[in-house]
Amino acid sequence: MSSPQEFFGNIADLIRGIPRDIILLLNRLPYVHLDPENDVRGVIVILMTAILAIYGLTNLLLAPWLERKVMARMMGRRGPVYVGKFGLLQLIADIFKLISKEDTMPMTADKFGFNLAIFMMGIATIMSFAPIPWARGVVGANMDIGLLYVFAVFSVFPPAMLLGGWASNSKYSLIGGFRAAAQLVAYEIPMMLSILGVLIFSGSLNLMTIVEEQYSNGWYVYRAFPGLFIAFVIFLFASLAETERTPFDIPEAEGELVMGPRTEFSGWRYAIILMVEYIHMYVNVILVIVLFLGGWDVIPVIHGVNYPEFLWMIKDNRLIQFLAFNVKIYIGVFFVTWVRVSFPRFRIDQFIEWGWKTLLPLSFIALGIVVVYAGLLVA
Amino acid sequence: MGWFLEANFILIGIITILMAFGTLSTKKVMRAAAFLLLTLVGVALTYLFLGFEFLMGIQITVYAGGILILFLFSVLLTGHEEFKMDLEFAKENIVQILISILLFFTLTALMLSIYGNYQLTGNELVLQAQTKGLTQDFSVALFSHFNYVLPILGVLLFSAMLGSVKLVLREEEL
């Protein structure tokens, strides 16, 4: 029986070994000359991304269940109870129901845009899993531009939403699409600005480097106090707005717009949109954790406090890191649900104003504090 | 894996060109925007083949996420009629076609004269990206040779941002 650390090492070796064998096999074919050391890298990236994305997606089956349960408890209900133990299989039942439904499309819809919007959103969300570090060294693609990559992938959403809303050829969808695009654009700027403070400390866009820096010098929530804490709160609310969670679910305000840009999508298309929404929320929670709450780090380092040896052993254990990351994600999902139950929906004008007139100046102030702090550190 | 990268490059190039053609030839404005989005993503992927991964991220974030949305808003919020492509040839069209053919050959000749001797293979592309560290070089150059330009640009952009906030605030008072 190997230790947990070795267990993860063995898995990594296995993943590296399989593509090498495939390449060695391919080399037996005529006219194929591959280098097993260098050419193996791309295959590893694809395999690791696929494995971690599948892990993330299976985890994702639990997130909506947790959300429903927590929501129900907070409202004095019981939530899903019939399908499976504690209603655990409710989401799978829902998915089967949605897939088995008749595939309908409005007669006047623009077929090209109607289909393209779904595929664009679906592909973009799954691609966003690639650079996320789940434990030390456990990552799909170790990119130097990891953070920028995630935001680049997410920036495909506003045009896709608008396209989907327009292609449905319904006024509710179009208005919803507009609202979604305006909201995503308005909240992307404070989000980006609040990240700048983190980048000053980490000096890298690589998500692994960002987490390693927090591992050795402390989490970003409490560093450069209160600069990065303000940035953390701004990033949290901006990411809630980005994912259209309830205080900010203006694009799909069901009292006004039926379902917003998603109104005309039904059956498997709706299943994909539902999945996209949850993955978007999930990845945003992960981003908050990676950027501000230490990623897979278990025990935050405090400047000037010496930890005993066994605490460092806990910090260095990859299995504990992996589990800690997952626990943090579920706490994040719980928090998001809590916010959803507690606050009523904003009005569209209040909301856009809040973004441009409150969050944007605040994020500038936070950035200023961080810059001054970093300057003092250097001096 | 040179042939693999080259095959990918050719595939992405063909798709990008097709999408660019779609942008110009489609009748509906929103479809044109969707094609434009795919064209921009294709161009971004071409940057990736050259090892400019940072440029790829910026290209998608700024153009696909920012500029395209501006286009869409301005197109959809202003009145427009669906325009039709007329493929009948007129005298002006012939001149246009001649000019574009001339431009195409000039550009090709120019590029061949500069890069003609240098043949890129897939392995070299990858090597270039790994050894040179283009993003780092770029940022080092930006923050060492141009370190006075950046703060000035920052102040300029910041003042523009403050000005727009001020404009919005004044509208409310009126």
Measured between CB atoms, which of A38, A112, A148 is closest to B31? A112
Q: What mean pLDDT do residues A17-27 have?
A: 69
- Residues B65, A181: C-beta atoms closer than 8 Å: no
Cβ neighbours of residue A64 closer than 8 Å, sequence gap 6 or more = A91, A278
Q: Is the pLDDT of residue B89 over 70?
A: no
Most confident of the following: A6-10, A62-66, B156-160: B156-160
What is the DSSP code string of B15-63? HHHHHHHHHHH-SSHHHHHHHHHHHHHHHHHHHHHTT-HHHHHHIIIII
Instruction: Quote the CA–CA distance of B107 and B102 in Å, as a whole number.
Output: 9
Task: Please tell me the distance from the alpha carbon of residue A189 to that of residue A235, in angstroms, as a whole number.
Answer: 10
From the CB of residue A16, how many other CB atoms can be counted at a distance below 10 Å? 15
Taking CB atoms and an 8 Å limit, are A152 and B37 in contact across chains?
Answer: no
Contact predicate A51/A15, CB 8 Å: yes
Chain B residues 111-150 within an 8 A CB cutoff of chain A: 126, 135
CB burial of residue A341 (10 Å; 0-12, 13-18, 19+):
middle
Q: How far is CA A246 from the centre of its chain?
A: 17
pLDDT at B133: 54
Which of A33-42, B102-111, B121-130 shows the lowest per-residue confidence on average (mean pLDDT)?
Answer: B121-130
**Is A247 in contact with A343 (CB distance < 8 Å)?**
yes
Other residues' Cβ atoms within 10 Å of the Cβ of residue A50: 14
CA A251 centroid distance within chain: 20
Give the pLDDT confidence score for residue A1 in this predicted structure. Answer: 45
Query: What confidence category does residue A174 fall into, taking pLDDT thresholds of 50, 70 and 90?
Result: confident
**Interval A291-308 mean pLDDT:** 82
Of residues B41 and B128, the one with the higher pLDDT is B41
What local confidence, expressed as pLDDT, does residue A118 receive? 86
B163 near A CB under 8 A: no
Q: How far is CA B119 from CA A239, A266, A366, B101, in A?
A: 45, 51, 49, 25
The single-letter DSSP state of residue B146 is: S
Residue B34, chain A, CB below 8 Å: the answer is yes
A-chain residue closest to B53, CA distance: A145
Task: Tell how many helices (H) and how many strands (E) occur in chain B.
Answer: 8, 0
pLDDT, residue B91, reads 65
Among A16-30, A189-203, A217-231, the minimum mean pLDDT is found in A16-30
Mean pLDDT of A89-103: 83
Tell me, what's the pLDDT at B82? Answer: 55
Quick check: B72 and A357 CB within 8 A?
A: no
Burial class for A10, CB neighbours closer than 10 Å (0-12, 13-18, 19+): exposed
Which residue does chain B place closest to A355, by CA atoms?
Answer: B165
Q: Could you say which of B31, B34, B65 has the minimum Cβ distance to residue A155?
A: B65
Exposed e or buried b for every residue in A254-271, given b needs 16+ CB within 10 A? Answer: eeebebbbbbbbbbebbb
What does the pLDDT look like over A203-259, one tens digit per residue? 888 888 888 888 888 888 888 778 888 889 899 888 888 887 777 777 776 667 777
Mean pLDDT, rounded, for A186-208: 85
A326-364 pLDDT tens trace: 889 888 888 888 888 888 888 778 887 888 888 888 888
Residue A17 has pLDDT above 80, yes or no: no
A354 touches chain B (CB under 8 A): no
Do the Cβ atoms of A112 and B135 come within 8 Å?
no
Mean pLDDT of B47-62: 81
User: Has residue A181 got a pLDDT over 60?
Assistant: yes
Mean pLDDT of chain A: 80
ipTM for this prediction: 0.72
Q: Does B2 touch chain A (CB under 8 A)?
A: no
Closest CB from A112, A158, A166 relative to B65: A158
HEC string for chain A: CCCHHHHHHHHHHHHHHHHHHHHHHHCCCCCCCCCCCCCHHHHHHHHHHHHHHHHHHHHHCHHHHHHHHHHHHHCCCCCCCCCCHHHCCHHHHHHHHHHHCCCCCCCCCCHHHHHHHHHHHHHHHHHCCCCCEEECCEECCCCCCHHHHHHHHHCCHHHHHHHHHHHCCCHHHHHHHHHHHHHHHHHHHHHHHHHHHHHHHHCCCCHHHHHHHHHHHCCCCCCCCCHHHHHHHHHHHHHHHHCCCHHHCHHHCHHHHCCHHHCCCCCHHHHHHHHHHHHHHHHHHHHHHHHHCCCCCCCCCCCCCCCCHHHHHHHHCHHHHHHHHHHHHHHHHHHHHHHHHHCCCCCHHHHHHHHHHHHHHHHHHHHHHHHHHHHHHHC
Residue A82 or A26, more confident = A82
Contact A159 B73 (CB under 8 A): no
- Interface contact flag, A158 B58, Cβ < 8 Å: no
Rounded to an integer, the average pLDDT of A45-53 is 74
- How far is A52 from A225, CA to CA, in rounded Å? 34
Please say whether the dihedral angle defined by the alpha carbons of residues A97, A103, A105 and A107, taken in this order, is positive or negative.
negative
CB contact under 8 A, B53 and A178: no
Sign of the Cα pseudo-torsion (A36, A40, A43, A44, in order): positive
Q: What is the pLDDT of residue A15?
A: 62
What CA dihedral angle connects A22, A23, A24 and A30, to 10 degrees? 110
pLDDT-based confidence at residue B54 (cuts at 50, 70, 90): confident
Give yes or no for a contact between A297 and A208, defined as CB atoms under 8 angstroms apart. Answer: no
**Surface of B (64-83) touching A: CB under 8 A:** 64-66, 68-69, 72-73, 76
**Residue A93, C-beta contacts closer than 8 angstroms, at least 6 positions apart:** A83
CB contacts, 8 Å: A120 with chain B: 37
Q: Is A288 on the interface with B (CB under 8 A)?
A: no
Alpha-carbon gap: B83 to the closest alpha carbon of chain A (Å): 16
DSSP H/E element including B136: helix B134-144
Scan for tokens 């650390």, then name that residue.
A5
pLDDT of residue A16: 62
The pTM score is 0.76
**Residues comprising chain B, all counted:** 174
Taking an 8 Å cut-off on Cβ atoms, the answer to whether A361 and B165 are in contact is yes
Neighbour tally for A40: CB within 10 Å = 21
Query: Is A188 within 8 Å of chain B by CB?
Result: yes
pLDDT tier, B85 (very low <50, low <70, confident <90, very high otherwise): low
Task: Find which of B72, B166, B172 to mutate to test the A interface (most A CBs within 10 Å of its CB).
Answer: B72
The CA–CA distances, whole Å, from A69 to A87, A88, A95, A332 equal 9, 10, 18, 15
List the domain boundaries for chain A.
1-76, 111-378
Q: Do B1 and A163 touch (CB under 8 A)?
A: no
At residue B9, does pLDDT exceed 50?
Answer: yes
The mean pLDDT of B140-149, rounded to a whole number, is 75
Region B87-104 average pLDDT: 76
Closest Cα in chain B, distance from residue A258 (Å): 21
Indicate whether A30 pLDDT > 80.
no
Q: A87-91, A198-202, B123-127, B167-171 — which is least confidently predicted?
A: B123-127
Single-letter amino acid code for the residue at A33 = H
Q: Work out the average pLDDT over A314-320.
A: 79
**Chain B residue with the nearest C-alpha to that of A27:** B1
- pLDDT value for B131: 47
Return d(Cα B102, Cα A322) in angstroms, integer.
60
Closest CB from A143, A145, A155 relative to B64:
A155
Does B31 reach chain A within 8 Å, measured CB to CB? yes
Q: A162 or B132: whose pLDDT is higher?
A: A162
